[in-house]
Amino acid sequence: MEIKITIDEVAPMLNGSNGLKNMHFRNYMKLRDKWAWLIRSATTAKFKGKVRIEYVRASVSPPDWDNISASFKPIGDALVSNGVIEDDNPTIVTEFVPKWEKAKNNNSLYTIITITQQ
């Protein structure tokens, strides 16, 4: 089984005033809840066991790999809280592939999450 979830926005990365490193925990909770609703509205799929996740973040300028991967944090938490995947640890997510694509402008940002049963 494989699903592709496309969302027309991106999660914050590590750096900056609104980045995950500087975010107050209450703001992170709001961010996590927002992504939980975005995921819930995009799919009802439930994967049991091991999965492969390909994560595409489209933005105007290319970020560092650590920033792309870190921006998956609220998304991974949302996938788990909605029961789409059992957990986001390496025993369940056996392969995590972060990718970046160029967006035309800040109005055309998007996220694509492809989950494949292993």
pLDDT digits (tens, 9 = 90+) for 22-75: 888 899 899 999 999 999 999 999 999 999 999 999 999 999 999 999 999 999
Which of 60, 73, 59, 58 has the alpha carbon at shortest distance from 112?
58
Confidence class for position 18, pLDDT limits 50, 70, 90: confident
Q: Give the Å distances, CA to CA, from 112 to 25, 36, 72, 98.
A: 26, 15, 11, 10
17, pLDDT greater than 80: no
Domain boundaries, the chain: 2-117
Q: What is the pLDDT of residue 48?
A: 96
Q: What is the pLDDT of residue 21?
A: 85
Q: What is the pLDDT of residue 95?
A: 97
Instruction: Specify the residue for token string 């496309």.
Output: 6
Confidence class for position 83, pLDDT limits 50, 70, 90: very high
Q: What is the pLDDT of residue 93?
A: 97
Q: CATH classification of 2-117, choosing from 3.40.50.300, 3.40.50.720, 3.30.1330.70, 3.30.420.40?
A: 3.30.1330.70
103, pLDDT greater than 90: yes
CA angle 104–100–40, rounded 5-degree value: 90
Mean pLDDT of all residues in 103-114:
96
For residue 56, the cross-strand partners are 99, 112
